[in-house]
Structure 1
Amino acid sequence: MKALVLAGGKGTRLRPLTHTSAKQLVPVANKPVLFYGLEAIREAGITSVGVIVGDTAHEIREAVGDGSAFGLDITYIEQEAPLGLAHCVLIAREFLADDPFVMYLGDNFLIDGITGLVDAFDAADCDARILLTRVAEPQFYGVAELGPDGEIVALEEKPVNPRSDLAIVGVYTFSPAIHEAVRAIGPSARGELEITDAIKWLIDAGHRVQSHLVTGYWKDTGRLEDMLECNRIVLEAIEHDCRGTVDGLSEITGRVVIGPGAVVENSVIRGPAVIGADTKIDRSYIGPYTSIGDGCTVEEAEVEYSIVLGESAIRGVGGLSRSLIGRNVEVTKAAGVPNACQLMVGDHSKVQVRA
């Protein structure tokens, strides 16, 4: 079996961060979301992986390389524009050949991996097995309707009146029959080749399409609140590990990971939290569920329940919470009077200021 990982897309819901960074490389507990997916694929026994890339191809290639760091053999496949998930299968035809494969959306986050899905597909006589999860608001998702034996009998995209609470997660296993399906369908109203239309074609053509329910935690990491929640879930499972330097005036409580070369002086860190390599925490408070990237500086500041990417500086700012700070960002206390907020904010940003 092979894998097809989708790492294109524009990440509009995480702008402005994704104007300059691939959404799949935004870190959870200081590790890019995409890496969790690649590791899950390897744990499922798959080593031949095609990665669909778009505008951020250079960044993805630089981060993932040839795949050897993950025990994988990576083939990159360029998509000239975001023309749909089924289009990704279409352009990957040569790579996939006639092998069964798992298709994995690179911004998905699954705690328990995909081994169960892959094993169930291998053992079953079906042409597709689709990962589903129960959601509270199915009207915002692609929704599957199941038959008595767990087979998928109908799919509907963001239905006004959902027939079930089973949402399509974004991880699929397919037999080579899917290639005929993606060639048979046309673009949707938004001009894309939809994988849901291809799956419907399989169902209508008499192919068996089975369901597989997520047993653990799943998130689509397309929004700030989703990223922070994934960060919280991963940090819950970390073990204390200090490879940096902590002075005698500092207080470290709970499970905290401090990377090599990091320095903590006269500060309080309450875990679970991760402090990246070569980061300096000085006269500051780092609260639970916080990830500080490599090479950062936090001075006379308070940060909790947040993600701070590498090479950023936070100085003299208190009460920073539920925030996602990008790379090479500087957050400082305004000097002088009046006591005002001074902001330079890019397009599609969101800022909340206490009045």
Structure 2
Amino acid sequence: MRGILLAGGTGSRLRPVTWAVSKQLMPVYDKPMIYYPLSTLIGGGIREILVITNEHEVAQFQRLLGDGSQWGLRLEYAIQQRPAGIAEAFLIGEEFLAGEPAALMLGDNLLHGVDFRPAVRRMRGTSGGHVFGVAVADPSAYGVVEFDGAGRVLSIEEKPERPRSPYAVPGFYLYDADVVGIARALTPSPRGELEITAVNEEYRRRGALSVTVLPRGAVWLDTGTLADCMRAVDYVRAIDEGQGIKIGCVEEAAWRAGFIDDAQLRGLAEPLMSSGYGEYLVDLAAVDPFVAGQQPLSAAAR
């Protein structure tokens, strides 16, 4: 499965800050926003990823992320000329996907407390589409998914006035290779965009859309507004200071996925020592693998 990380858009709800920098490059506590969704893709075992962004910002992403080889990844870049909908990502990324299943992650979403590897593994060998559901206090503000006891999606609606369930759909989606053709056949919505909800609706119409409900305690944060960003900062800081865990740490995600080894992790830590970030990475590589909550150090075990 190959991944697409959509980091386009204008960031209009975060202006004037986003006149100077992409919203996906804004800091969320101690790291750029894009580290969080990137670490989610890596945590799902995905190492070939296409970053889609604006023409005038692509150089900034390339300077930050490079080709991904330092993390055991293959990163490529593509341009979205104008915001034309989330589903346009599949048309832009058609050549990169090369007929493989696709995982799409939105560049301003933070997901924590979830192991996505089982869902990704299942999608590698099956057909259809797969979304996730997270219980929220006000589902009418999001895309809402309704489903039966077997996890089959019954309806999926964008910001319904009367939600049929309390489960919102976060910005992480898994699809088979048909997604490119489905996206190409879409009619733009009244706002002139190719909607991801329309993609999901087509899979649902085919009887091929399933859902996994995120476990109680899982966290999903959409950092589209300044208030959302501040909530994300507060959450990440609380976990960092209270538990000593760095959410969205790309280096750790790559290490735990077995994409890099202990020596490579230590090498990545060296230029980061003065900020304290590097010390965290060094401690990871040195920790007793049997300490509660830690993964074994060998790539095979991970």
Report the TM-score range of the alignment, normalised by the length of the smaller protein: 0.7 to 0.9
Structure 1 outlier segments of 4+, above 4 Å: 259-262
How far apart are the structure 1 equivalents of 2:60 and 2:117?
28
**Counterpart in 2 of 1:162?**
163
After TM superposition, the score normalised by the length of structure 2 is: 0.75
Kept after mapping to 1: 8 A contact 2:11/2:22: yes
209, 213, 226: which one pairs with 1:224? 226
Kept after mapping to 1: 8 A contact 2:101/2:124: no
**Counterpart in 2 of 1:86?**
87
**Counterpart in 2 of 1:151?**
152
How far apart are the structure 1 equivalents of 2:273 and 2:72?
25
Q: Choose between structure 1 and 2: higher helix proportion.
A: 2
- 1:82-140 superposed Cα distances (whole Å, 9 cap, x missing partner): 111111111211110111121000111011353343234346x4411102211111111
Query: CA separation of 1:261/1:201 partners in 2, compared to 1, >3 Å: closer, same or farther?
Result: closer
**Counterpart in 1 of 2:179?**
178
**Counterpart in 2 of 1:9?**
9
How far apart are the structure 2 equivalents of 1:25 and 1:70?
19
Percent identity at matched positions? 35
Query: CA separation of 1:275/1:121 partners in 2, compared to 1, >3 Å: closer, same or farther?
Result: closer
Kept after mapping to 2: 8 A contact 1:8/1:57: no
How far apart are the structure 2 equivalents of 1:78 and 1:49?
14
Kept after mapping to 2: 8 A contact 1:126/1:209: no
Task: Note the 1:16-27 alignment, pairs <5 A.
Answer: 16-27=16-27
How far apart are the structure 2 equivalents of 1:158 and 1:107?
19
Aligned residue pair count? 247
Q: Match of 1:236, SS?
A: helix
Cα displacement (A) at 1:260: 5.7
How far apart are the structure 2 equivalents of 1:130 and 1:97?
22
Q: Match of 1:193, SS?
A: coil
How far apart are the structure 1 equivalents of 2:20 and 2:241?
32
Q: Match of 1:238, SS?
A: helix
Q: Choose between structure 1 and 2: higher strand proportion.
A: 1
Kept after mapping to 2: 8 A contact 1:117/1:131: no
Q: Match of 2:183, SS?
A: helix
How far apart are the structure 2 equivalents of 1:203 and 1:275?
43
> Larger Rg: 1 or 2?
1
Cα displacement (A) at 1:154: 1.5
Letter matched to residue 34 of structure 2: L
**Counterpart in 2 of 1:37?**
37
**Counterpart in 2 of 1:267?**
none
Q: Match of 1:187, SS?
A: coil
Cα displacement (A) at 1:261: 5.5
Letter matched to residue 203 of structure 2: L
CA RMSD in angstroms comes to: 2.4
Kept after mapping to 2: 8 A contact 1:11/1:22: yes
**Counterpart in 2 of 1:213?**
213
Letter matched to residue 21 of structure 2: S
- More displaced 10-residue stretch of structure 1: 144-153 or 95-104: 144-153
How far apart are the structure 1 equivalents of 2:180 and 2:277?
45
How far apart are the structure 1 equivalents of 2:12 and 2:79?
20
Letter matched to residue 95 of structure 2: E
How far apart are the structure 1 equivalents of 2:178 and 2:62?
30
Q: Match of 1:144, SS?
A: strand
Higher relative contact order (CA 8 A, sep 6+): 2
Query: CA separation of 1:70/1:17 partners in 2, compared to 1, >3 Å: closer, same or farther?
Result: farther
Cα displacement (A) at 1:71: 2.3
How far apart are the structure 2 equivalents of 1:219 and 1:117?
20
- 1:216-266 superposed Cα distances (whole Å, 9 cap, x missing partner): 11100112222222222222232699xxxxxxxxxxxxxxxxx8658xxxx
